[in-house]
Amino acid sequence: MSFSLETWASPKIAQLQQMLLSSFETEESILHQACKYPLQTGGKRIRPLFLLATMEALGEELSQDAYICATALELIHTYSLVHDDLPCMDDDDFRRGKPTVHKIYGDGNAVLVGDAILTKAFEILSQCTPTHLPALLACIGKAAGTVGMIGGQALDVGLEGKITDLEQLKQLHSRKTGALICAAIDLATILCSVSEEKQATLHQFGQKIGLAFQLADDILDAEEDAKADGPPSFVKFLGINATAQQAEHLLEESLTLLNSLENPEALRRLALFTVKRDH
Ligand code: GRG
């Protein structure tokens, strides 16, 4: 029987959704309602799915710890979107076709919502079994922090100066977008206690597919990004065809890194989706 990514992913997304929302259901309040809003507007859940697919590729059961880490990652991704949409950052009125958090609750409250969702990620992580907890915390903190997502965003807003070459652009996106995707793979290798060699190979996979995700994103946003006053993007630096070629190349390289894994079908299909997606 042929493998369907949708059939594979949908029960996992349902379980994740329940965990994402239950963290804000301990009491009824407008703050909790506002925190649940960006968790209820859809989203591909690609980071959690990468984590779960990597565990499966390594031949491991999807444990409660796996779902806890997957939930924490999605919470961090969600907070970054809430803050990124604010008028002081990207100033977006809509995300996933729905009004952004600040459009509904106001700018200050959207800052609080982002902060609360980020903080919840670490509260939830604390429920992991203690064995791997220090390594899991270090991994997720680093990926979300100054040498990861926030560092990438700082480069994007020009804090360190203008992005003038392709290497700088790669660094920006490897941090801003790639780091959290790579963390999904790294977290799975920590949970599965794999050898250093396997960890390094899968980390390389994560770096390549994380960057490929951004190249695909730039192609999807090509019209917007190509504008002279648009954000620094691969399409702007390379043109659309070369960007697509680079994405394809990264995909091929990343797929070869999965060859020795026990059960890599879902991970392979997720990598393909990352580059070939239409949303
Ligand atoms: C504000 C701290 C802070 C960080 C913001 C990740 C980020 C840094 C901003 C998001 C803006 C953006 C559109 C980045 C490009 C790639 C990206 C992360 C797209 C959104 O991720 P998807 O496609 O979103 O996984 P869904 O909606 O599927 O969850």
DSSP category for residue 94: E
* Intervals of the chain under pLDDT 70: 1, 225-226, 228
CA–CA distance, 95 with 182 (Å, rounded to integer): 24
pTM of the model: 0.96
Q: Could you give the 3-state DSSP secondary structure of residue 203?
A: helix
In the reported structure, the alpha carbon of residue 214 is separated from the centroid of ligand 1 by a whole-number distance in angstroms of 9
Indicate which residue's Cα is closest to atom 14 of ligand 1: 177
CA distances from 34 to 16, 78, 273 (A): 19, 12, 31
For the CA of 144, the closest atom of ligand 1 is 2
Mutate to test the pocket of ligand 1, among 17, 80, 81 (most ligand atoms within 8 A of CB): 81
Cβ–ligand 1 contact at 183 (below 6 Å) = no
Cβ–ligand 1 contact at 44 (below 6 Å) = yes
The string of pLDDT tens digits covering residues 47-60 is: 999 999 999 999 99
Helix orientation angle between 5-22 and 46-57, rounded to the nearest 10 degrees:
120
The string of pLDDT tens digits covering residues 224-250 is: 766 767 778 899 889 999 999 999 999
